[in-house]
Structure 1
Amino acid sequence: MTAPIIRLRDVNKTYDTSGTARPALAGLDLEVRAGEALAVLGRSGSGKSTLLNLIAGLDRPSTGSVTVDGVAVHKLGEAALAGYRRARIGMVFQFFNLLDDLTVEDNVLLPAQLSGVSRARARARAAELMDRLGVARHARTFPALLSGGERQRVAVARALMNRPPLLLADEPTGALDTASAADVRSLLGELNAEGQTILLVTHDTALAGACATRTIELLDGVLHRDTLRAGAAR
């Protein structure tokens, strides 16, 4: 049995300090093991985005602990959080978050440049990823000239640039047409089959069904349902 790469213990997150509103997360305990593809489902306001932000170190729990890849994320200062995200987290967003004034290749290279990787090593890794994800022919192209599905593939390549142990995806098919969404679903499934640990927040039940080995549902900040796909190991 593999060790948990994500462990949350009694996590509470409250944005309203007056105590009159319900918490975004309430006493959440969660473990995700290396190699899992976990889909987090739930209605708007259920706590999905809060959970993702806590794991990414973009927010802090009001109480409780968040540990990712052996790092106590809730204890890190701002500089250490930036280093944590560069080294351990790859993030894919609904609206891609690519830099339009950079080429595809330069967008993919950016995480390695921020981490101080040599130009030669970074370019070799970028070439490998762009070829693997089917966007190598667009290396000198600017993102605005690509389709939505192609831009999301570039975003995934950028997220994987520093070989992060954990890939976080926030509604990765939410801005895509049907064909592009199916393409991204297949891509995420392939990455997980190769061993990449993935946590994705989504309303797309087809995405969860296609590439998640496990699905949880949040309801009003509480873990409501935890389902392991038939045949998946825990």
Structure 2
Amino acid sequence: MTTPMIELREVSRRYDDGPPALRHVSLTVRSGEAVAVLGPSGSGKSTLLNLLAGLDRPDTGTVTVAGVRVDELGETGAALHRRNRVGMVFQFFNLLDDLTVADNVVLPARLAGMGRAEADRRAAELLESLGIDRHARVHPGRLSGGERQRVAVARALMNRPALLLADEPTGALDTAAGQDVSGLLADLNAEGQTVVVVTHDLALARSCTSRTVRIADGRITEDVPSRNLAPETAR
């Protein structure tokens, strides 16, 4: 039996004196799955993403990604975890406007020690496969929102991560661009990429994932095939 890509066991996280952001959450995601984490603001879904990325640690419980106990990593180990195992896509792209598209995409590989020629080849392949190679020498500020999100996806895939995390990836896009990015995530998953999409958008969950986990008040309240989501699930 293959090792799960993600395994959380009895994970809880509380900030200061507020209510727990996560309460005894257990979750398993298989390699190659596309899973949406659905919930309103404050439900705990962003905390879950931060724990998977090693940006935060649980108060109790264990977080394992690609066979590695992320909750046991120190600051350097967590940074290497994000560099080598996890690709991240954000709502507002987080691209560097003073760099070209190609240089934005190359950056993670260069930080990981990849040679310039090899990194350039990898970036060119990604930009071509994502249909934005014609923008390689353009600065991100000249691109549409959908194009910038494609650049962000290319950057996230640069180091061939085992896990792709997408945090509200269509939240800053219009409907057409959002559907474009949703289709891109579905295509990546069809090619074998494990994807976790954190969102409050029911339509996004249905369109690019096969399974949806709903979180409310820090607890998992529903874990169903995305095609079975009822409209009230989005509330």
Same fold (TM over 0.5): yes
Q: Give 2:231's aligned residue.
A: none
The alignment status of 1:105 with 2:85, answered yes or no, reads no
CA shift, 1:65, in A, is: 0.6
Give 1:196-207 correspondences, 5 Å limit.
196-207=193-204
Q: 2:43 aligns with which of 25, 46, 54?
A: 46
Q: 1:89 aligns to what?
A: 86
* Distance (whole Å) between structure 2 residues aligned to residue 205 and residue 121 of structure 1: 39
Aligned position for 2:30: 33
In 2, the alpha carbon distance for the partners of 1:79 and 1:22 equals: 30
Alignment of 1:215-226 (within 5 A): 215-226=212-223
Structure 2 residue 129 is the aligned partner of structure 1 residue 132: yes
Distance 1:93 1:176 in 2: 12
Deviation at 1:188, TM superposition (A): 0.3
Q: Which residue of 2 aligns with 1:148?
A: 145
Partner SS state of residue 12, structure 1: strand
Deviation of residue 204 (structure 1)?
1.6
1-structure distance, mates of 2:37, 2:100: 32
- Which residue of the partner structure matches residue 7 of structure 2? 7
- 1:69 to 2:66 alignment: yes
Which residue in 2 is equivalent to 1:170?
Answer: 167
- CA deviations over 1:152-211 (Å, ceiling 9, x no partner): 000000000000010000000000011100100110000000000000101121111011
Q: How many residues align?
A: 228
**CA drift at 1:229:** 4.3
**CA root-mean-square deviation:** 1.2
Could you tell me how far 1:3 is from its partner in structure 2? 2.8
Per-residue deviation at 1:2?
Answer: 4.0
| Cα-to-partner distance string for 1:108-146 (whole Å, 9 max, x where unaligned) | 000000000011111110000000001100000000000
Name the SS of the counterpart of 2:20 in structure 1: coil
**For 1:61, what is the secondary structure of its paired residue?**
coil
What is the CA–CA distance in structure 2 between the aligned matches of 1:228 and 1:203, rounded to whole Å?
16
In the TM superposition, what is the alpha-carbon distance from 1:228 to its structure 2 partner? 2.2
State the partner residue of 2:233: none
- Asked whether the 8 Å contact 2:206–2:227 carries over to 1, the reply is no
- Given that residues 3 and 67 in structure 2 are in contact (C-alpha distance below 8 angstroms), is that contact kept between their aligned partners in structure 1? no
- Give the distance between the partners of 1:62 and 1:230, measured in 2 at CA: 34
Amino acid in structure 2 at the alignment position of 1:98 = L
Q: Structure 1 counterpart of 2:14, which letter? A: T
Q: Please list, as runs of the form range in 1=range in 2, the aligned pairs for 1:158-197 lying within 5 A after superposition.
A: 158-197=155-194
Report the 3-state secondary structure (helix = DSSP H, G, I; strand = E; otherwise coil) of the residue aligned with 1:24: strand
| SS of corresponding position for 2:159 | coil
TM-score in terms of structure 1 length: 0.95
Which among 47, 55, 58 is matched to residue 58 of structure 1? 55
Distance (whole Å) between structure 2 residues aligned to residue 64 and residue 2 of structure 1: 22
Long gaps (5+) in structure 1: none
Q: Using the alignment, how far apart are the partners of 2:134 and 2:192 within structure 1? A: 26
Identity %: 65
Amino acid corresponding to residue 91 of structure 1 in structure 2 = M
